[in-house]
Structure formats: C-alpha cells, structure tokens
C-alpha cells in the first residue's frame, strides 16, 4: 500500500490538535492499534509544538506536514522555516530546554524517539528545521490477536 498526504498550516498553538488528529486519521488505514495511534499523535504533537514555540517563537509562520505510507511504514515529516537550531544534538538531550524559566519539560524529542521507530532532525540556523520520523505498523496477525481500533 502506498499513499501520501501534505498539509500546510499556520504555526499557531490551536493547530497542534488539528495536526496530530489529521496525521492519525491518515494513518488509520494502516489499521494501527489504539496504542500506535496514540504514539503517532504524541510524536506529531511534539514536533508541531516545537515549530510553533521554538521555530517561530510564537510569532507565527507556516508548518508543512507530509505523511507517507509505504506498506507497513508510516513516514512523517514536519518542517518549518523558523529560526533553526545551532546544536541539534544538545536540543535532543533528555530534559534539555532552551527556556528553563518556562513550563517546558524538555522531553519533546525524547517522546518522539520513544514513540516512533526512527527519528532524524536536520536544522539550519536562520532557515528552519525538519523532523523526519518513521514508524512500523505491524500488519494484523491472521487471528487479529491485538485489539484494533475502528477508525
């Protein structure tokens, strides 16, 4: 099975919900479990929030989301044209936050890594950041042993 979707939206906090629900709905045809759906929603939410909060510093801009299904792999790319990062490695360290004075847990990348199978982050200061994540959605066993979602 192959399919693809693209979504360009304003980088505003209200759209974080829209982004994660849209990608989850797109992935539904892969017949993911409830837990896999929740993994996808969390990872997308983290990446889009990073674009809104850090990429554009809450000032708005545009976020592009591309999702692709290739057989049992779901690939999601979330790209902004915001301020980018000097040190991607440091940003990805658990509990690191560029804004310790605010209510940020510093766990965004940790959750993306935990909930997806592959994570690749590329960033150019002044030009933006691209997060590419892949997740394998196991095909249902013949006997449908796992609990499956309806949507």
Partner 1 sequence: MEYRIVRSILFVVPGREIDHFQAETIIRYTEGLLRQQCFRLLVFDLADTVFMDSAGVGMMIGLYREIRAWGGAVYIIRMQSGVRRIYRMAGLHKIIPCYEDEAQFLAAVEGGGAGDER
| Contact between 114 and partner 1 per CB under 8 A | yes
Q: Alpha-carbon distance 150 to 137, whole Å?
A: 15
From residue 149, alpha-carbon distances to 25, 35, 43 in Å are: 11, 9, 19
Q: Which of residues 51-80 bind partner 1 (CB under 8 A)?
A: 52-53
- 25 is an interface residue for partner 1 by CB under 8 A: no
Residues 6+ apart with CB under 8 A from 69: 1, 2, 3, 4, 26, 27, 29, 30, 75
| Nearest CA-CA partner of 135 in 47, 18, 9, 64 | 47
In the bound state with partner 1, the residue whose beta carbon lies nearer, of 84 and 108, is 108
Name the segment binding partner 1 (CB under 8 A); options: 2-10, 76-84, 99-107, 116-124.
99-107
- Give the one residue of 1, 2, 14, 144 binding partner 1; rule: CB under 8 A: 14
Is residue 27 part of the contact set for partner 1 (CB under 8 A)? no
Question: Residue numbers of the site for partner 1 (CB under 8 A)?
Answer: 13-14, 16-17, 20, 34, 38, 41-42, 45-46, 49, 52-53, 102-108, 110-111, 114
């Amino acid at each position: 099975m192959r399919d693809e979707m693209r979504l360009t939206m304003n980088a505003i906090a209200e759209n974080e919900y829209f982004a994660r629900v849209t990608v989850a709905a797109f992935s539904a045809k892969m017949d993911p479990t409830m837990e896999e759906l929740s993994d996808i929603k969390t990872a997308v939410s983290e990446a889009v929030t990073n674009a809104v909060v850090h990429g554009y510093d809450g000032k708005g801009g545009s976020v592009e989301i591309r999702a692709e299904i290739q057989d049992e792999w779901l690939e999601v790319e979330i790209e902004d044209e915001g301020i980018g990062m000097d040190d991607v490695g440091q940003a990805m360290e658990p509990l690191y936050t560029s804004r310790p004075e605010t209510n940020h847990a510093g766990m965004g990348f940790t959750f993306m890594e935990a909930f997806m199978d592959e994570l690749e982050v590329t960033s150019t200061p002044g030009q933006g950041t691209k997060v590419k994540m892949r997740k394998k959605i196991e095909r249902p066993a013949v006997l449908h042993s796992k609990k499956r979602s309806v949507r």
